[in-house]
């Protein structure tokens, strides 16, 4: 995918998906859509609305850089610095782990036991090793009367969790 010629969004996705497939990446097409979407500022699903949009040379160059990282097996979430968890988008940092989909079972387990504490006012949630803050913030997004405290040994992780709380509009109920 040379950065010296015009290429449309749909061509970029197809070319990148082929390169990823050749490199043995199982989620080649999805990864290509996510990376192209990241470059043009659309989520992977909205790319369908702009298949003929031409990428700039700067976009092509940046896409090439990102594709090299993916072919080297760097996770897409680390490349774009974002990860979805519990239907919410979380920023990542080098000091945090990626929120894992299987960790969503912890959020669900708390919510399944909600009747034990839902009548209580002032419910406080403690999240030890908060990282991105995904567990605490997912719970706060579901339990509107709760507040929480996220603790982490890493100041970089705390900064990331604070950013996520602010981005999600939960910073008034979450302390880190």
pLDDT of residue 49: 80
CA angle 42, 43, 45 (to 5 degrees): 115
Each residue's pLDDT tens digit, 2-42? 445 689 999 999 999 999 999 999 999 999 999 999 999 98
Structure-model confidence comparison of residues 113 and 66, the more confident one? 66
pTM of the model: 0.83
pLDDT of residue 2: 46
CA distances from 48 to 37, 78, 87 (A): 10, 24, 21
Question: 66 φ, ψ to 5°?
Answer: -65, -35
Closest CA to 35 of 89, 87, 4, 71: 71
H-state helical runs in the chain:
9-22, 28-40, 57-71, 76-80, 104-112, 134-142, 155-167
Give the mean pLDDT of 149-172: 98
**Residue recorded with tokens 């070319």:** 15
- Domain 7-80 sits in CATH at 1.10.8.10
Each residue's pLDDT tens digit, 85-144? 999 999 999 999 999 889 999 999 999 987 776 666 678 999 999 999 999 999 999 999
pLDDT of residue 120: 61
- Domain 83-175 sits in CATH at 3.40.50.150
The span from the CA of 160 to the CA of 76, in Å, is: 18
7-80 with 83-175: one CATH topology?
no
User: In the chain, where are the structural domains located?
Assistant: 7-80, 83-175
pLDDT of residue 119: 60
Contact 11, 17 (CB under 8 A): no
Structure-model confidence comparison of residues 113 and 77, the more confident one? 77
């Amino acid at each position: 995918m040379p950065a010296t010629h015009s290429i449309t969004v749909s061509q970029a996705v197809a070319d990148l998906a082929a390169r990823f497939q050749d490199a043995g990446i199982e989620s080649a097409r999805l990864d290509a859509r996510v990376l192209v979407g990241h470059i043009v500022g659309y989520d992977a699903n909205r790319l369908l609305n702009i298949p003929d949009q031409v990428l700039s040379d700067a976009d092509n160059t940046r896409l090439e850089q990102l594709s090299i990282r993916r072919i080297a097996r760097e996770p897409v979430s680390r490349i774009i610095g974002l990860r979805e968890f519990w239907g919410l988008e979380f920023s990542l940092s080098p000091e945090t782990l990626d929120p894992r989909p299987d960790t969503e079972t912890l959020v669900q387990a708390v919510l399944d036991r909600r009747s034990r504490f839902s009548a209580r006012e002032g419910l406080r949630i403690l999240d030890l090793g908060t990282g991105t803050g995904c567990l605490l913030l997912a719970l706060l997004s579901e339990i509107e009367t709760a507040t929480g405290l996220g603790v982490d040994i890493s100041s970089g992780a705390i900064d990331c969790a604070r950013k996520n709380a602010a981005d999600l509009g939960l910073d008034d109920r979450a302390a880190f």
